[in-house]
Structures are given as C-alpha cells and as structure tokens.
Amino acid sequence: MNILTIIEKKKNKQELTKEEIEYVVNGFLKEEIKDYQMSSFLMAVVLNGMTIEETFYLTDVMLKSGDVLDLSSLKDKVVDKHSTGGVGDKTTLIVAPLVASLGVNVVKMSGRGLGHTGGTIDKLEAISGFKTSISKNQMLDQVKKIGVCIASGSASLVPADKKIYALRDVTGTTSSIPLIASSIMSKKIALGANDIVIDLKVGNGALMKDIKDAKLLAHYMIEIGKRYQKNVVCVLTDMNEPLGKAIGNGLEVKESIGVLKNHGDEKLKKLVLTLAGHMVEKGLGISFDEAYQKCQTNLENQKAYQKFEELVKWQGGNIDDICISSNVISLKSPSTGFVNKIDALKLGNLAKILGAGRIKEDDNIDYGVGFVLNKKVGDYVLEGEELVKIYTGKTDLLLEDVVSCFSITNNGVEKESIIIDVIG
C-alpha cells in the first residue's frame, strides 16, 4: 500500500477501504506521509468527496489516534456544542457559560481559526493570561467545580485531527463535507458527551454556501453520531452577513460580554438563546420552550455573565485586560440608502489580512485588530455616516476594499431570520 496509489484512487472517484484510510491518517501522523502528499490527498477529497462509510472510517481512525475523555466522574449530564464557523462567530463564548449557569455541564474543546473563520481559542487568548492548553484532569476538575471549561484540549485527544486541521487551514481544503464532518465528530465523540448540539452555518461567510450542502453535512454528522450512540441536533443558521457586529478576536470577546449582560445585537442573542435552549433541553430533560425561557432569564439577571467571569478567572485570564488595538479608523458611508448586502466572506478575509487570522500555518495572530460594523443588512445609512470602525495594527487595508463589502441601494430589504432549520 502506498500514498500515491491511494491519491490516484480518490482522484478517480473510487471508494477507499478502511485500511487505506487508516494508512493515510496514521502515516501522516507518524510523518511517513509528507505534508505535500497529504495536501494532495485532501484536495482529492475536496474535489471528489467521500461516501458516508469512508467518512465514518476517517472519523473512527482520527478518534482512535488518541484518548477518549471519560466523563463518568461527573455526576451531572454533560452536553456539548460545536459551530462549523463563520465570520464574527463568537457563540461558544456566550453559550458555554450561559448553559453552565443553569446547572448543565459543558466540556468544550475548541479550535483555532480555519480559513476565513475565526477560532474560539484565538478569541480567548485575546484575554490577558487566559490558558487554553490544559490537561484532561484539569478540565474535569474545573467542570466539577464550576460546570464549564473551554480549552484547546489535551494533545492526547484526536492528535490526527489537530495535524490535519492545521494543514487544511493553509492549503485551501477547508470546504469539504466529509472532512468537516469527520473533524467535528471525532472531537465531539472524544469528549464523551452523549448529546451534541451543532450550529451549522450556511451562506456567503460560512464553509457551507447553500442549504442543500448544509443539510447533507447535518445528515453525515447525525449518522456518524448514531454509530457511537450519540444524539446530534443540527441548528442551521444564516451566515450571509457577519454574526453580530464585531469581527476580530478581542473585539468579539467584548461583544460577547455585552450579550452576556443582555445587550447587543438581537440576531446574535436569538441564536445563542436557541443553541443554549437545545442544550439545556437535553441537559435538564425539559421542553425546549422552558429551556429557552430559563436561558433568557439568566442573560437578563447576568448569571450567565457571572459564570463567564468565573470561567475566565479559573483559566488564569484577566477579564479587564482584553487586547484591542488603539489605532481606529472610522469608515464613512459613500452614499445614502439601505444596506442591501454585506460580503461576509470578503470581510472575513480582509480581517485575516489585517492579522486577525492566519495566512500561513505558523503566522502569529494580532488579537486586537478587526472590524466593528455600525450597520447591518436592512439598516438605513446616510452618506457620511459611520459604516464600520476598522481596528488596525501593523498592516493597513485599502479603505475602498472594506467599502466594497457593503452594497447600499435605494430599496430596503427584509432582515432574514438567523434560524433556518433544526434537524435531528
């Protein structure tokens, strides 16, 4: 068996065996298969896909490349959550402490930025001192004490996915249903929770561009979950404009704190309440409506924010010291009218160029840069009125590139619902 034969087989749209997929993943992990060879294999998968069986084999071999977290020492039920990522996606920062504030345990292993999407770990590291790399025992101890932990996870958990994930980020191989499904589900299963809620984003700023593909991805993840006796719920959500108003690591932490204090963007608040509602429904064994109301109450009374404060303190962070650039440009609207469209993908890529994301695998993040939108789709804007604040660092952008992300017309448009569908 050799990697060139397997690449050729997948290039010709042939189904791979379990043994062939094991050979590729384990060989890459042992560095017997080189980055350039793995990149070629991943591109073949992006172009030609994988069957559900191949995707299950890929998930299983990545899962078995490391340990599985044993949650039996936790007395209460644990519910997990994942987002497929998008521009301005800061839901985990809000949902995890909100759910924990209602007595449902959350053990969350998050990742770094992938493509044009921001990573939860990068956002948390914008908080001075916040430790994202902690051991399995520390994670469990923390959850026993405060009910929540968000970490990059132990190196012993799905190491194959970590290595493949980092390569996908810098080789244009992020948008693949089998690769996304196996990456997500290997991590979710390794974390041991029986109930998993997935925020599956759809649209211009998401990895999934259309609803058909998003539903197929949901089907893959739900089917993989069933093979491990896991209950998976996929909430399909709109990503045709940035989520919330902030794009950039420190800026998104600030916005998350605002929502945890029951302020901020209403669509973002609706999304986090829906995701948290499904998690609390599973965790407490109550109806979704009752769970949603409980979540809303804990935003209003700021118990969710207090839990976030507790989380930050436990992981060594200083909530009063969040990295945000002091170099700010106020970008004005070139015309009067309604914001008809915002190119979330382009804004996400511009934020990456600013330094909020990685272009190369070993790039350093500038935690303080990004955008804060003053106007969203459907809003009316006057010529000369502020459209967006740009927080810059060492790299500047052409302002016309940012302006071109906003389509302003004379005709108003309806604001789309953030929730598209719930599957599972």
For 281-337, the DSSP string reads: HHHHT--HHHHHHHHHHHHHTSHHHHHHHHHHHHTT--TT-B---SEEEEEEPSS-E
CA distance 51 to 56: 9
Residue 82 appears among annotated catalytic residues: yes
CA distance 221 to 200: 11
For position 117, what pLDDT does the model report? 57
Domain 3-49, CATH = 1.20.970.10
What is the pTM assigned to this prediction? 0.89
Residue 110, pLDDT > 80, answer no
Residue 187 appears among annotated catalytic residues: yes
Cβ 12 vs Cβ 143: under 8 Å? no
For position 119, what pLDDT does the model report? 82
Amino acid in position 310: E
For position 157, what pLDDT does the model report? 81
Catalytic residue among 81, 136, 163, 168: 168
Domain boundaries, the chain: 3-49, 79-314, 327-409
The model's pLDDT over 16-49, given as tens digits with 9 standing for 90+, comes to 999 999 999 999 999 999 999 999 999 999 999 9
The model's pLDDT over 321-365, given as tens digits with 9 standing for 90+, comes to 999 999 999 999 999 999 999 999 999 999 988 988 776 666 788
What are φ and ψ of residue 298, in 5° steps? -80, -15
CA distance 153 to 146: 18
Q: Please state, rounded to an integer, the average pLDDT across all residues of the chain.
A: 92
User: What is the mean predicted confidence (pLDDT) over 3-7?
Assistant: 96
User: What is the mean predicted confidence (pLDDT) over 239-250?
Assistant: 94
With H, G, I as helix, E, B as strand and everything else as coil, classify residue 394: coil
Q: What does the DSSP 8-state code read for residue 84?
A: -
Contacts of 408 (CB under 8 A, 6+ apart): 333, 334, 335, 336, 337, 338, 339, 340, 381
For position 271, what pLDDT does the model report? 97
Residue with more model confidence, 349 or 290: 290
Would you tell me how many other CB atoms lie within 10 Å of the CB of residue 156?
Answer: 14
For position 116, what pLDDT does the model report? 56
The model's pLDDT over 112-125, given as tens digits with 9 standing for 90+, comes to 665 555 688 899 99
Cβ 286 vs Cβ 199: under 8 Å? no
Catalytic residue among 108, 123, 187, 269: 187
Identify the CATH homologous superfamily for domain 327-409. Answer: Pyrimidine nucleoside phosphorylase-like, C-terminal domain (3.90.1170.30)
Among 72-81, 121-130, 203-212, 357-366, the least confident range: 357-366
The sign of the dihedral angle between the CA atoms of 274, 276, 277, 281 is positive
Residue with the two structure tokens 């999304």: 271
Number of continuous H segments (helices) and E segments (strands) in the chain: 16, 13
For the chain, percent of residues with pLDDT exceeding 90: 74
CATH class name, domain 79-314: alpha beta
For position 424, what pLDDT does the model report? 86
CA distance 45 to 89: 26
Catalytic residue among 83, 101, 176, 183: 183
What are φ and ψ of residue 197, in 5° steps? -110, 125
Catalytic residue among 81, 82, 215, 230: 82
For position 191, what pLDDT does the model report? 85
The model's pLDDT over 171-183, given as tens digits with 9 standing for 90+, comes to 888 889 999 999 9
Would you tell me how many other CB atoms lie within 10 Å of the CB of residue 279?
Answer: 28
CA distance 17 to 24: 11
With H, G, I as helix, E, B as strand and everything else as coil, classify residue 39: helix
CA distance 246 to 212: 28
Q: What does the DSSP 8-state code read for residue 207?
A: S
CA distance 166 to 208: 19
Which neighbouring-strand residues pair with 82? 198
For position 78, what pLDDT does the model report? 87
